[in-house]
Structure 1
Amino acid sequence: MGNQVEKLTHLNYAEVPTSDPNGFDPDDDGPRIGVSYIFSNDDGDDDQDDNLGHFSSVNNAVSHDEKPFDPQDELECAIHYREECVYERSTGAAAQSAESLLNKCRPGDLLEFVATGQYPHWAVYVGDFQVVHLHRAEIKNNFLTDVSQGKKGRIVNGLYRYRALPPEVIVRNALDHVGSRDRELYWRNSECFAAWCRFGKREFKIGGEIRIGKQPYRLKLLFSEKKSHVLEFQSLEDVIMEKRRNDQIGKVVREAILYSNQASALFCAAQTV
């Protein structure tokens, strides 16, 4: 058992097995799909924006070349902690150029930069056209327009339903960690860091929650009014890692993967009859 756990902790994120990757939950009343992930530090942010690895779909590999953001390929999703919804995103949220975004930002705002086929990149606006963000295993302070790298962005203060800290505290949280890198970091990706700055909850940090078998978090991916997929996790950090992975591969590819897994399971079941 010890050898198996040691082996799992050194798997890449896309290689970590799940208890059951198949099936849809059309009515949201059926049995949930239980999933547990064990992450190694190799999943560190780097920011996951630098096109790390390739995730294969049914017949095609996901392209990591930057493409114009398509809101329609974005999965509607929600995160629940027990019965409480702590995160919710609807599809079609508009994004705009970095220059346009600057006119709307206020200190303490959370920003998300998006491009099709890439992980979203999060940052905290700290004023004077600058943001603080986790990138390539280091927390940096840069101009917003430089961080966007041509991607479109949007203010995402309302996605997490936690109560925000005062703006001056959010900014201080971000600036106090500028320069932190590698083993000094307490966050695996830019989203966890930015959200922690705004809400101050330990759940966003590495190891912020003890994993003791229970899976109180649920991630619901909604493909249509009648098609959804539900995964269960032990910690918010794990949920965010999976959510970001789905953000990167997109709605169309994710649905194709689920259908493929479902078909494979049915075929295997038929073979054993």
Structure 2
Amino acid sequence: MGNQVEKLTHLNYAEVPTSDPNGFEPDDNGPRIGVSYIFSNDDDDQDENLDRFSSEKNMVNHEEKPFDPGDQLECSIFYREECVYETNTGAETHSAESLLNKCRPGDLLEFLNTGQYPQWAVYVGDFQVVHLHRAEIKNNFLTDVSQGKKGRIVNGLYRYSALPPEVIVRNALDHVGSRDRELYWRNSECFAAWCRFGKREFKIGGEIRIGKQPYRLKLLFSEKKNHVLEFQSLEDVIMEKRRNDQIGKDAVMQELANHLNTTNEIKEDYFAN
């Protein structure tokens, strides 16, 4: 199989086949919402998708504006029953200059703008970060990469054991200059997370997509209203999570309302029991 991955795209939930909206399917013993699917490579520029993933352009145009924490959708990722990722909506954001006083080599950084995909990077010391940008892994000054966006340290979002700082830095620097067909990651988040945790699940084709979906993405709209989607790989979940980050909480909620044919029946939490 290698890196040959079948590609499917969609623009909203209404175009994606799902299971019974009541959460149950024939011949199944429990709740199951959604299916796994793969989204177009986002990188961090909508017009720079790699040809081997998709020749289609993302037709959704979102206005760029400063990050609004209130528009961020809380979510969690589960592998079977284990939570492997959880959004920290209360995390404070900082200017690039302020981040420089807080970073340590091996830290993961996330730069945010409403209407854009989050840009992840690995801090490697000497005011520099390594990041995937426009289908190339680059080494740039943190202040240049931020482009005026606020950022935050996101070491704790993924609940995997981190590699030693020197290994994280080496992972990042060893791939500087890789581009196009040399890349093993779909976006800046997958690359940065792989550098820190070293898990093959962040790589293209790192997991075989067969059988039932072991990953669940839980979208939390309120204490009692949420929706769960199932996926076959961590890579697929990340692509959907980032798409939600880009379009914002209200847009995701509207998509789901349209998909479920109602504005007030987002599914209850299936992990409550």
TM-score normalised by structure 2 residue count: 0.83
Q: Is this contact kept in 1: 2:74–2:87, CA < 8 A?
A: yes
| Counterpart-to-counterpart distance in 1, 2:22 and 2:193 | 30
Aligned sequence identity (%):
77
| Counterpart-to-counterpart distance in 1, 2:22 and 2:89 | 19
TM-superposition CA deviations, 1:81-100 (whole Å, max 9, x none) = 01110000132322111111
Q: Is this contact kept in 1: 2:9–2:38, CA < 8 A?
A: no
In structure 2, the partner of 1:47 is 44
| Counterpart-to-counterpart distance in 2, 1:199 and 1:123 | 14
Q: For residue 174 of structure 2, what is the amino acid of its counterpart?
A: D
TM-superposition CA deviations, 1:34-74 (whole Å, max 9, x none) = 312145xxx3344346696243xxxxxxx523211110110
| Counterpart-to-counterpart distance in 1, 2:111 and 2:46 | 10
Picking from 170, 175, 183, the partner of 2:181 is 183
Cα distance, 1:259 vs structure 2: 1.1
Q: Is residue 2:246 matched to residue 1:248?
A: yes
| Counterpart-to-counterpart distance in 2, 1:187 and 1:170 | 16
Stretches of structure 2 lacking an aligned partner (at least 5 in a row): 24-29, 49-56, 264-273
Q: Is this contact kept in 1: 2:42–2:117, CA < 8 A?
A: no
In structure 2, the partner of 1:268 is none
> For the aligned residues, what is the CA RMSD?
2.5
Q: For residue 102 of structure 1, what is the amino acid of its counterpart?
A: L
Picking from 54, 72, 75, the partner of 1:74 is 72
TM-superposition CA deviations, 1:205-248 (whole Å, max 9, x none) = 00000111220000000000010010000000000000000000
3-state SS, counterpart of residue 157 of structure 1: coil
| Counterpart-to-counterpart distance in 2, 1:248 and 1:24 | 28
Q: How does 1:219-230 map to 2 (within 5 A)?
A: 219-230=217-228
Residues 24/189 of structure 1: CA separation in 2 closer, same or farther (3 Å cut): farther
| Counterpart-to-counterpart distance in 2, 1:20 and 1:257 | 14
| Counterpart-to-counterpart distance in 2, 1:231 and 1:72 | 22
Cα distance, 1:253 vs structure 2: 1.1
Q: For residue 119 of structure 1, what is the amino acid of its counterpart?
A: Y
Residues 140/251 of structure 1: CA separation in 2 closer, same or farther (3 Å cut): same
Stretches of structure 1 lacking an aligned partner (at least 5 in a row): 1-7, 56-62, 266-273
3-state SS, counterpart of residue 150 of structure 1: coil
Cα distance, 1:264 vs structure 2: 7.0
Residues 38/159 of structure 1: CA separation in 2 closer, same or farther (3 Å cut): closer
Q: Is this contact kept in 2: 1:22–1:262, CA < 8 A?
A: no
| Counterpart-to-counterpart distance in 1, 2:173 and 2:46 | 22
Q: For residue 35 of structure 1, what is the amino acid of its counterpart?
A: V
Cα distance, 1:13 vs structure 2: 4.6
| Counterpart-to-counterpart distance in 1, 2:132 and 2:66 | 23
How many residue pairs are counted as aligned between the two chains? 245
Q: For residue 257 of structure 1, what is the amino acid of its counterpart?
A: E
| Counterpart-to-counterpart distance in 2, 1:202 and 1:151 | 30
Deviates more, 1:101-110 or 1:10-19: 10-19
| Counterpart-to-counterpart distance in 2, 1:227 and 1:131 | 38
Q: Is residue 2:191 matched to residue 1:210?
A: no
Residues 181/24 of structure 1: CA separation in 2 closer, same or farther (3 Å cut): farther
In structure 1, the partner of 2:33 is 33
Q: For residue 36 of structure 2, what is the amino acid of its counterpart?
A: S
Residues 171/70 of structure 1: CA separation in 2 closer, same or farther (3 Å cut): same
| Counterpart-to-counterpart distance in 1, 2:7 and 2:79 | 28
Residues 95/54 of structure 1: CA separation in 2 closer, same or farther (3 Å cut): farther
Q: For residue 186 of structure 1, what is the amino acid of its counterpart?
A: Y
| Counterpart-to-counterpart distance in 2, 1:72 and 1:53 | 25
Picking from 97, 102, 105, the partner of 2:103 is 105
TM-score normalised by structure 1 residue count: 0.83
